Every structure is written in C-alpha cells, then in structure tokens.
Amino acid sequence: MQPTRRAPEWAQDLLVALAVGLVWFGGVWFMYQGDYWMPRDIRSYWWTGAWLVLTLALRRIAPGGVFWVTAVFYPLFQDDAVSNQFHLVPLLVAGFGATRQGAVPPPLAAIGVVLSGWSLHMSSEHWDGYWQVVGWSSPSGILTTVALALAAVALGWMVRRIAVTGEALRERNEELTALQGVLAQQAVHAERTRIARELHDVVAHHMSAIVVRAQAADRVAPNQPQAPAEAVTWIAEEGKKALTSMRSVVHVLRRETGDTLELAPAPALDDVRAAAARLTEAGRDVELDLPDDLGDLRPEVSLAVVRIAQEGLTNVLLHSLAPRLSLEVVATPGYVRVAVRDPGPPLPDNPDLHGGNGLLNMRERALSCGGTLSAGPDQSGGWRVQAVLPRETP
C-alpha cells in the first residue's frame, strides 16, 4: 500500500485561509442583513476578514514578514469605527504564526501585538477620562488585549517547542531503529560465526585424522595389503565419534536459554587426551603436559583451552611431517597458557588441505576471552602455537 500523498503546506494554508474567509465574510454579511446587529461601519469587518485571510495563507511561507506587515500596516487600514476585540484576530494569528515558525522571538512578538492593538484602539471615539490620555477606551481593553497577545504568542511558542521536540524524538527513533537493525545483523553474524566455529572445532580434528589415515593407507597398500582394511575399521569408529560429537553440539545449540543459544559447556581435558590419542594412532608421538583438571575457570575460557589444544594438534597432523610434538597447558592464578609445538619439517603443499579456518578460529576464541594467540615458526625451524587466556574478565 502506497502512502497517501499530502498537499504542500502552502496549499493547505491557502485552503484553510479561504475556508476561514468564507466563514468570516458569510457570517458578517448574514448578521449585517438582520435587525439585531448594527455596526458603526461594516468596512472595518471587511478589512479584518481580508487581513485574516492574508495572515492565514502566508503564516508558514513568510511568517516574519507577515507579522511585521500586519503589526505596522493593519491598524492603518482601520478607521475610527474599531471598538471591539474581534479586530485583533489578524494580529493574534500573525503573532502565533511568527512564534510557531520561530521567525520572531516570543517577547518581541508579544510587544508587537500589544502595541499594534493599542494603535488600533487609539482611533476609537469612545474615550473618557484617564484612559483617553493613554489612548485606550477602558482598563478592560488593556487587560483583554495584553492577555490575548500573550496567549497567542505563548501558544505559538508552545506548539513550536512540541513540534521541535517531536521532530527530535522522531529522528532519534529513526536512529535507534537503524541501530537496532545493525545490532541485529551483528548479533546474527556473531551467532553464525560462533556456531560455525564450534562445529568446525568439534568435527574438524576427527575428519582430518580420517583423511590422513585414509591417505596413509592408500600409500602403503601395495606393500601392506592389510593396511586398507585396518584403516577402514579405524575410520568407521572415528566417523561414529565425529557424528556423536556433532550431534552433541547441535543438540546443545538448539536448546534455547532465554533469547540466546546456549553453547556446549566447557569440555574436559579428556577431549584433549582423546585428540592426542588420535594423533598417536596416526603415527605421531605426542608429549602431553596437562594439569589434572582446569579448575574453576570461566566456561568460555575452559572451552577455549580445549578447542585451541585440539585445533593445534589437528594442524600438526595436517601441515607437518614431525614424528613427535608437544602439548603443554599451564594454569596459573592469573592466566592459562596453551602451547603446541612441532619441530617440523612442514608437510609439502597439499591442495586438499588448504582453505581451513583453524588459526582464525583459535585467534577468535582467544580474543573472545580477552586473551592473545600467536602462531608461527620458531627459531629451530619448527612451528609453535601459543595462547594466553586470563582467568578473570579483563
């Protein structure tokens, strides 16, 4: 459904002015035809109606100019017949429009309306006593004109303040709506990244070991006919473990806690020992230096320790020919350090093993805990991965 198109403001003001002019002139003419209303000079009401139409039509196009023209020239077009407050209406409309649009400061607009109204009454023939000296017909004329002037100007100022506040709130609401959309997209992206990282880290080391074992069996098959059969048995068992691990992660990810997905609790160090056992079965000697348990670490730190250790071991299997490697996990009162090192040499380029996200995932896990991760060759030509994770939230 398309939004309804609204007429421009000047057209709306013109229609309002014409409608009010029609009511004004029609009412004055109808009353003048009767026997109960006999104005001293009907022309003053025609002039008042004409100026009223003018101020209404131009109140938003040129509010400041209309106000000053009305305040200065409108009294000049009236004659001695002005004797009631109806003739103040164009002045009040001009004062309201000027302050509503912010074209004239409210104090100045109030003074202008009062002085212009005073000049209107200066022409009245109904003077008496003291009020003739000050140029006003009665004390009530002073009070009424001042009250009406202040009311019109105050109303214009209040309406402007409400409009300005409403516009500011509308802009703020649009900004918050846009920000909410951005935050929602960021949350979705972060959640997708976290799920992808968790699935990768849980399954990748299983599948990597399967690939390496299958390739090794294929290479030695001509000399060791029993190797493929042994590899198939091992791969079947390892595949079951991979499926079990993946189902466990998916099951936990699908359990909702409030509005967020609950990731798997921090695995035990037995998962690291199992990963090391897979490397041993693939022909690598793994030297482990692990504490008995991870203690009272934050869940995200415990998870990061296990996943970084598993990924470090998997990377050695995929990218190194080292016959032996070491894994060390050191827990201190302030931090936990995970270090994986292999002496090399690196595995020749294998396009089947390129394009992984292991290092990226390890770095993201370390950063999410407030820690750091470094990975690269060491001085002896091997490769070292080290993560330092704080126990407490930074």
At 374, which CATH number? 3.30.565.10
Give the chain's domain count.
2
Return d(Cα 201, Cα 366) in angstroms, integer.
14
Residues 140, 216 within the same domain: no
What is the structure's pLDDT at 267?
Answer: 65
Residue 45 located in a structural domain? yes
Continuous segment of H or E residues that includes residue 336 = strand 335-342
**Residue 185 in domain:** no
Say if 1 falls within a structural domain. no
| Residue 203 C-alpha from the chain's centroid | 36
**Is residue 183 in some structural domain?**
no
Residues 137 and 198 in one domain: no
| 287 backbone dihedrals φ, ψ, rounded to 5° | -100, 115
> pTM for the whole thing?
0.50
Q: Name the residue range of residue 40's domain.
A: 9-177
Q: Tell whether 173 and 251 lie within a shared domain.
A: no
Q: What is the pLDDT of residues 139-193, one digit of tens each?
A: 676 788 888 889 999 999 999 999 999 999 999 988 888 888 887 777 777 767 7
Domain boundary among 177, 208, 234: 177
* Residue 238 and residue 108 in one domain: no
Domain-located, residue 352? no
pLDDT tens sequence across 27-36: 888 888 877 7
Question: What is the rounded CA–CA span in Å between residue 160 and residue 355?
Answer: 61
Q: How far is CA 121 from CA 27, 108, 137, in A?
A: 24, 20, 7
pLDDT, tens digit (0-9, with 9 covering 90-100), for 277-298: 878 877 788 898 888 877 778 8
